[in-house]
Structure 1
């Protein structure tokens, strides 16, 4: 390609980051990135009371937390496991991931750098 020729831009791949409408997943997305979204959402939205109870117990027990916070730890683990095994929740997190990836591929701007307009 000579210097005066410009590369053509594929409208389906505007920033060279892949097709925004592609819904296929790589193994790393399926096994790492989507479970991370699941973990974060479960901890902050769905099991927030169990997380708070466990944190409070750990703060008040200091060095003896392993023995004294078993009940809270068990409740937190049960709550997280219940959500990790929920197929509808997995699909919801997968949809969130695919939307974030499509937005990135469309704009070329990572999620953390995008500013919400109000």
Structure 2
């Protein structure tokens, strides 16, 4: 598969409906980092009562995440990034998570 134009790549059902949305969730958490931190901080401070005491932080976090999940431009950005990673894997045989690891400098 030597295609370089990402529009030519056919994605499987699992890629469109599972893998790209997973990437979207991870990136949305990064984009909503302030809300994630506020919710986590609230939960740590309140313990068992977090269900009641952290409603405001939870609602703000859900709203932030939902905005990204429903954004077709964000989906397209994640899709293009996924395709680039897939093409790089097909070219090199190295998975993206392994590609980011440093290689030993001496053997």
Q: Name the larger-Rg structure.
A: 1
Runs of 4+ in 1 over 2 A off after TM superposition: none
* RCO higher in structure (CA 8 A, sep ≥6): 1
RMSD of aligned residue pairs (Cα, Å)? 1.4
1:61–1:68: 8 Å Cα contact kept in structure 2?
Answer: yes
5+ residue gaps, structure 2, are 103-107
1:13-28 alignment runs, 5 A limit: 19-21=1-3, 23-28=9-14
SS of structure 1 residue aligned to 2:94 = coil
5+ residue gaps, structure 1, are 1-18
TM-score by length of structure 1 reads 0.79
Residue equivalent to 2:55? 70
TM-score by length of structure 2 reads 0.86
Would you say how many aligned residue pairs link Structure 1 and Structure 2?
98
Give the 3 Å change call, closer, same or farther, for CA 115–40 of structure 1 in structure 2.
closer
1:20–1:101: 8 Å Cα contact kept in structure 2?
Answer: no
Residue 34 of structure 2 corresponds to residue 49 of structure 1: yes
Give the 3 Å change call, closer, same or farther, for CA 115–71 of structure 1 in structure 2.
closer
